[in-house]
């Protein structure tokens, strides 16, 4: 019997992507289930990131996640990330908003803002973000701490508002996989307006 998250097409059972899979699918430019560094680069450029950040992110992300998402396979110098196995790349010292299967845990999401958003209930300042990262640190987990720090700092850099606040809806969009599509549309719209001038 099919699970709740399954879709039937022509007698073939196809599972609906988890929120964690949706989170990374934006970067699978050719939609083949594998994300290569050049696709990660293109994805970051599509959301308006500069060349330096896009190059750094593509190397850091793919080098860090490729091996974990390809269990039992030889390492590849192309550093591919397999979307279907992204749950295997979960790291320690994180927020716990994704469970071990890559599903969204609403209570953990709300906990971020209940515990750390003191100046504004619906946003995090840079200092509050640092405090959250410190609170999530696990002993002897330098890789997890570096991964969490990088993810959240890039998110803050790209999504903070003019007052330096990282809004709750932006963070939710990261977790449900909608933020990157939204950012790409906004960036494309800005570019189209600029080209018309």
104 and 35 co-located in one domain? no
- The DSSP call for residue 142 is H
CA distance 44 to 180: 9
Domain count, the chain: 2
Is 104 domain-assigned?
yes
User: Which of 88, 111, 131 represents a domain boundary (last residue)?
Assistant: 88
Is 9 domain-assigned?
no
pLDDT per residue over 78-105, tens digit each?
Answer: 999 999 999 999 999 999 999 999 999 9
SS3 139: coil
pLDDT per residue over 6-39, tens digit each?
Answer: 444 555 556 899 999 999 999 999 999 999 999 9
Check which CATH number belongs to the domain holding 77 and give it. Answer: 1.10.238
Is 194 domain-assigned?
no
Is 197 domain-assigned?
no
Which range marks the domain in which residue 172 is found? Answer: 95-176
- Counts of helices then strands in the chain (DSSP H, E): 8, 6
Is 103 domain-assigned?
yes
pTM: 0.85
Contacts of 193 (CB under 8 A, 6+ apart): none
């Amino acid at each position: 019997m099919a699970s709740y998250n399954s879709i039937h097409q022509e007698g073939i059972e196809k599972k609906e992507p988890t929120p964690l899979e949706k989170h990374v699918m934006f970067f699978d430019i050719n939609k083949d289930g594998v994300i290569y560094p050049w696709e990660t680069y293109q994805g970051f450029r599509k959301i308006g990131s500069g060349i330096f950040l896009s190059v750094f992110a593509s190397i850091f992300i793919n080098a860090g996640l490729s091996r974990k998402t390809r269990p039992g396979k030889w390492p590849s110098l192309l550093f591919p990330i397999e979307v279907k196995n992204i749950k295997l790349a979960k790291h320690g010292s994180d927020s716990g908003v994704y469970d071990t299967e890559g599903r969204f845990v609403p209570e953990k999401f709300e906990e971020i803002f209940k515990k750390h958003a003191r100046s504004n209930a619906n946003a995090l300042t840079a200092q509050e973000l640092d405090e959250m990262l410190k609170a999530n640190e696990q002993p002897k987990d330098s890789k997890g701490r570096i991964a969490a720090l990088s993810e959240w700092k890039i998110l803050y850099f790209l999504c903070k508002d003019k007052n330096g606040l990282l809004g709750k809806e932006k963070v939710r969009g990261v977790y449900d996989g909608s933020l990157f599509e939204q950012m790409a549309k906004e960036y494309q719209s800005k570019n189209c307006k600029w080209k018309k001038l």
